[in-house]
């Protein structure tokens, strides 16, 4: 069996020109030219951390590729599509290897999707939206129910359901989730609110005040219980001076402020959504 060092350094010089086969876990491993191995266009992972790829490349350079990648037997031509192990393939390109150890399997398109998804989920660093889109793809292309997916992935049905729910986020909130501005737990709190304006209020609070998931859930519940303001039940200050004051207070405290004039009398209404809001307003009104 070829040594790890042999796979890492001078691979082409140390091994025969033709692919060789190595018995490993009852599956044959063959060395394929890197140029004949291509990425899976349906790969669930879209973002490959360049720093981690560089670390993997350094490891491959020193020790070789310890675990072969899994590829699909070509349907036509001589190109093999990656089913599992694209990070190793990318790192091998970075190092400049000419050949890569592979396990060749004859798989259906459904099996390819399953293996690719399972490998990524087992790595536990697939982004929430990437995982959700991969799960949706399996439900659409394979007709799997949430129960079936949960069984195949070794996850609970609620895990699968919560993951798929993330796709109901509006595109701008999906982008924030992909950028790491908030977590899947925060996203579920946002989705618990049906009103778009209230969702926007919660998202802003999460991003600006760095709310925990628990704080976001509490605020989501409070926002859901508030009545939705419409043109018929909403009263705005007719006096532009009062309106300007309300806007300045809103900018200062980061909460909704309303001034209602009633012929020289009126109301100043200050909304707050969590204890931090209340404390900040009190500290501003009653400085020590």
Catalytic residues: 86
- Classified as helix, coil or strand, 47 is coil
- Asked whether 44 and 130 are in contact (CB, 8 A), the reply is yes
Closest CA to 111 of 150, 79, 71, 77: 71
- Asked whether 271 and 212 are in contact (CB, 8 A), the reply is no
Reading the block at residue 94, the tokens are 């970075």
Closest CA to 170 of 159, 178, 158: 178
DSSP-assigned letters across all residues of 212-279: -HHHHHHHHHHHHHSPPP-TTT----SSHHHHHHHHHHHHHHSS-EEEEEETTEEEEEE---SHHHHH
Closest CA to 120 of 138, 93, 97: 138
Residue 72: strand pairing partners: 81, 105
Reading the block at residue 103, the tokens are 């396990």
Say how far apart CA 114 and CA 108 lie, in whole Å.
10
> Cβ–Cβ contacts within 10 Å for residue 5, how many?
12
**What is the end-to-end Cα distance of the chain in Å, rounded?**
76
């Amino acid at each position: 069996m070829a040594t790890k060092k042999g796979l890492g350094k001078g691979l082409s010089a140390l091994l025969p020109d033709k692919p060789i086969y190595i018995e490993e876990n009852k599956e044959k491993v063959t060395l394929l030219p890197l140029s004949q191995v291509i990425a899976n266009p349906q790969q669930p992972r879209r973002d490959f951390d360049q720093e981690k790829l560089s670390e993997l490349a350094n490891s491959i350079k020193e020790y070789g590729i310890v675990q072969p990648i899994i590829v699909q037997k070509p349907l036509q031509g001589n190109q093999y599509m990656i089913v599992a192990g694209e990070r190793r393939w990318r790192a091998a390109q970075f190092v400049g290897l000419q050949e890569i150890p592979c396990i060749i399997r004859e798989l259906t398109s459904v099996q390819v999707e399953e293996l690719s998804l399972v490998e990524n989920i087992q790595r536990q660093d697939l982004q929430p939206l990437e995982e959700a889109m991969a799960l949706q793809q399996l439900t659409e292309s394979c007709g799997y129910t949430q129960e079936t997916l949960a069984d195949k992935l070794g996850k609970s049905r609620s895990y699968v359901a919560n993951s798929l729910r993330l796709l109901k986020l509006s595109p701008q909130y999906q982008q924030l989730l992909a950028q790491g501005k908030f977590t899947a737990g925060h996203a579920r709190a946002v989705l618990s609110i049906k009103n778009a304006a209230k969702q926007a209020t919660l998202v802003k609070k999460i991003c600006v005040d760095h709310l925990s998931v628990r704080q976001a859930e509490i605020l989501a519940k409070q926002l859901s219980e508030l009545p939705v303001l419409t043109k018929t039940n909403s009263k705005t200050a007719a006096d532009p001076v009062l309106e300007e004051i309300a806007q300045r207070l809103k900018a200062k405290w980061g909460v909704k402020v309303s001034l209602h004039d009633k012929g020289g009398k009126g109301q100043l209404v200050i909304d707050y959504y969590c204890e931090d809001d209340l404390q900040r307003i009190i500290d501003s009104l009653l400085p020590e």
